[in-house]
Structure 1
Amino acid sequence: MEELNKQEIELLRSLQKNSRFDISDLTERLNMSRTSVYDKIKKLENEGYIKEYVAIIDQKKLGLKFTVIVNVSLNSQRIEYVDEFLERISNLNEVMEAYVTGGIFDVVLKVVVKDPEAYNDFVANKLSAIPHISKIQSSFVMRYIKQTSALPF
């Protein structure tokens, strides 16, 4: 994969802010033709720089007002146990993000649910049903300071 040029970087920055771009604005800002802009976008998609286009939905408007950061320790780091855990949490709709981490905990999850009762149900009936969990520690989000999907490049 070749290094990105200034126009491609600016195009990616613009698409991060709003993937429903105004082609006239982009052609003017990047000093490129419409065809060139579309060709660059297709190239960036084909090379995997652009993975997908999504709408960012206001979770509170959907009644999903309770966000929890969940730290999970497994009782064994055997690869088959870790793989099973990761596969199972990948299929849980409440899990918005999941990271394998180094340090005290093995996995960090971001979980979004309606309320504390829904979180209790999630832990009791879904998360705890996954084998090889030794510890679950929950931190409840009180206030959002910064949420972004834009990468700092």
Structure 2
Amino acid sequence: MKTLDSKDKQILIILQKEGRISVAELATRLNLSDTPCLRRIKRLEQDGYIQGYSARLDAQALALDVVVYASVRLTENSDSYAEQFEQQMALLDPVLECSVITGAHDYLLKIVAHNLLEYERFVKQSLGSLKCIASIESTVVLKQTFSRHQLPIN
């Protein structure tokens, strides 16, 4: 990846907060003309700094009131079990994040559900049916005080 200059960093900062901003408005804020601004955006996309654009939804408005962090230990610490597990997690819509971790467990999952009963069914029917899983420890979030979506750009 190429190094970022101050204009590139400003573009990334603004686009993280305002993904729907027009190129004209962005260019004005950066004291650039439209074409060079658009060229910079395209380069940032091609270089992989910008991976895509999406809308951030309100989980509570969609009645997804339960957030759970599930620590998972595999039955066997092998590449084939890890690959099988990761592929299965990618197919499950309630699983928002899947991270390989250190310590007593192998993975940390962030899972959403409408309620605890739905989460219990998900664990028993989806996770529990995978033979590669030895154990699951769930931590239910009582209250999320904040969640950042913007990465710090120095």
TM-score range, shorter chain: over 0.9
Q: Is the 8 A contact 2:2 2:47 kept in 1?
A: no
After TM superposition, what 4+ stretches of structure 1 lie above 4 angstroms from structure 2? none
Shift of 1:86: 0.7
Distance 2:104 2:77 in 1: 13
Structure 2 SS opposite 1:62: coil
Structure 2 SS opposite 1:125: helix
Amino acid at match of 2:15: L
Counting only pairs closer than 5 Å after superposition, residues 113-152 of structure 1 correspond to structure 2 as: 113-152=113-152
| Matching residue of 1:2 | 2
| Matching residue of 1:44 | 44
| Matching residue of 2:88 | 88
| Matching residue of 2:99 | 99
Identity %: 32
How much is the aligned-residue C-alpha RMSD, in angstroms?
1.0
Once the two structures are superposed, residues 31-80 of structure 1 have per-residue CA deviations (whole angstroms, 9 ceiling, x without a partner) of 11011111111111111111010100001111111110100011211110
Q: TM-score, normalised by structure 1?
A: 0.96
Distance 2:124 2:66 in 1: 16
| Matching residue of 1:17 | 17
Distance 1:50 1:125 in 2: 36
| Matching residue of 1:58 | 58
Once the two structures are superposed, residues 75-95 of structure 1 have per-residue CA deviations (whole angstroms, 9 ceiling, x without a partner) of 211110111011001100110
Number of matched pairs: 153
Q: Is the 8 A contact 1:85 1:131 kept in 2?
A: no
